[in-house]
Amino acid sequence: MRDLIKRALSADPLAIAKLITLVENGGEEKIEVLRELYPFMGKAHYIGITGAPGVGKSTLIDKLISQLRSEGSRVGVIAVDPSSPFTGGAFLGDRLRMQRHATDPGVFIRSMGSRGALGGLAKATADVSKVLDACGFDYVIVETVGAGQNEVDIIKTADTVILVLVPGLGDDVQIIKAGIMEIGDIFVINKSDKDGAQRLAKEVEMWMEFGYKDKNWKPPVVMTIAEDGTGVDKLVAEIKRHVSYLRESGEIKIRRKSRVLEEINLALEEVLQKHVNRVVGEETLNNYVDLILEGKLDLYTVVEEIVTKIIRT
């Protein structure tokens, strides 16, 4: 393991890929990997890119990679694809769109299936992001599934959230009602050469006048055409401006503190579930379920009994 980690920290793509696989598989090896990498984390800036299917997120990321690489930055990408509810498999099409970067040693792209996780991310996304961070990537870009208004989990992983909209997909109607609008740090109107792009941009700006009037950061609206790279340089400039704002205002510490607290809670849930499975067991747990359904015990009494058993073990 130590040799594998040493190679990954030296930017060996095969070693990085193997570490990510260990992290995705979970268990004790995941914990060991993250413990060893912990001293090297915290330097990367995490960018989340979300939006409905068909808005051109993958094409936009492809152009973002090119722009950031031209400036000398190393870029890691995690593209989360929807998994089949029947086979658990994922199409993983995002890697195909970014294939031209495959031979660039300064770029690492990993596709992940969501495996049924809600919120647009795979369960291991945050941990895989940490691996790329520790391995020296300046930017870690996370692309969500893009399944609609439940993409809000990205705010728990990213420092900068980019929400991509396009004219003609009903985004102008969703602006008023969709909670997803509230998580954006930067709004991108992609395919801005299409009819309705300027109107959509104005509606987003009008919405922000109401939704962001009491906040220090007013999200910019960037017009892009990802297919030919138009506006991507402006998007990178706005990302860097947001990075500066986060650091100068101290907001980056607040966001990362909230993220760590969330991670602690999730880790506690995972560890406690393991203890429940070990101490209580499936048969006893099913007996508790029957007692609740029969009205002989209530939920909270059952939980207290389980916790008491764990403490005594």
Tens of pLDDT, residues 119-140: 445 568 889 999 999 999 999 9
Best CA proximity match to 200, nearest among 167, 229, 159:
167
Let me know whether 120 and 243 are in one domain.
Answer: yes
Tell me, what's the pLDDT at 146?
64
Helix (H, G, I), strand (E, B) or coil at 153: helix
pLDDT of residue 83 exceeding 50, the answer is no
CA distances from 26 to 49, 138, 295 (A): 25, 25, 37
- Which strands sit side by side in the sheet containing 221-223, from one edge to the other? 107-113, 75-81, 139-143, 45-50, 160-165, 186-189, 221-223
pLDDT band per the 50, 70, 90 thresholds, residue 311: confident
Task: Give the tens place of pLDDT for each residue, 150-175.
Answer: 456 788 889 999 999 999 876 554 55
Mapped onto helix, strand or coil, the DSSP state of residue 48 is strand
Q: Which of 194, 214, 249 is the last residue of a domain?
A: 249
- CA separation for the pair 159, 240 (Å, rounded): 12
pLDDT digits (tens, 9 = 90+) for 202-213: 988 888 877 665
pLDDT of 169 reads: 72
Where among 249, 269, 287 does a domain terminate?
249
Q: Is position 1 within any domain?
A: no
Instruction: Give the number of domains in the chain.
Output: 2
Tokens of 203: 């509606």
Please answer whether residues 152 and 180 qualify as being in contact, where contact means their C-beta atoms are separated by less than 8 angstroms: yes
User: Based on the domain organization, do 197 and 90 belong to the same domain?
Assistant: yes
Nearest 5°: the CA angle 31, 106, 9 is: 35
Question: Does residue 238 register a pLDDT over 60?
Answer: yes
pLDDT of residue 293: 96
> Considering only CA atoms, which of 204, 126, 108, 121 is closest in space to residue 165?
204
**Is residue 186 within a helix (H) or strand (E), and if so which, with residue range?**
strand 186-189
Would you state the pLDDT for residue 96? 60
| Domain that residue 66 falls in | 40-249
Lowest mean per-residue pLDDT among 12-26, 206-220, 277-291: 206-220
CA 3 to chain centre: 28
In a domain, 58, yes or no: yes
How many whole angstroms separate alpha carbon 236 and alpha carbon 175?
24
- Kindly give the residue spans of alpha helices, DSSP state H, lying in the chain: 2-9, 13-25, 27-37, 57-70, 94-97, 125-134, 171-177, 197-211, 232-249, 251-279, 281-293, 299-312
230 and 288 within one domain? no
Match 């594998």 to its residue by tokens.
Answer: 4
Pick the closest to residue 57 from 128, 163, 138 (CA basis): 163
Place of tokens 């998580």: 183
Q: Same domain for 192 and 93?
A: yes
Q: What pLDDT shows up at residue 157?
A: 86
- CA dihedral (265, 144, 53, 66) in degrees, to 10, reads 160
> Do 130 and 110 form a contact (C-beta atoms < 8 A)?
no
Report the distance separating Cα 212 and Cα 170, nearest Å.
22
Q: For residue 221, how many other CB atoms are within 10 A of its CB?
A: 19
Is 97 found in the same domain as 228?
yes
| Amino acid residing at 41 | M
pLDDT band at 97 (very low <50, low <70, confident <90, very high): low
Which residues 6+ apart lie within 8 Å of 14 measured at CB?
A: 7
Residue 113 pLDDT exceeds 90: no
Q: Is residue 20 part of a domain?
A: no
Q: Are residues 242 and 276 in the same domain?
A: no
Taking the C-alpha atoms of residue 42 and residue 27, their distance in angstroms, rounded to an integer, is: 23
Specify the pLDDT at position 178.
Answer: 52
Is there a domain that residue 10 lies in? no
Statement to judge: residues 136 and 285 lie in one domain:
no
CA 16-27-21 angle, 5° bins: 25
User: Do 156 and 301 belong together in one domain?
Assistant: no
Contact 190, 164 (CB under 8 A): yes
In terms of pLDDT, which residue wins out, 50 or 100?
50
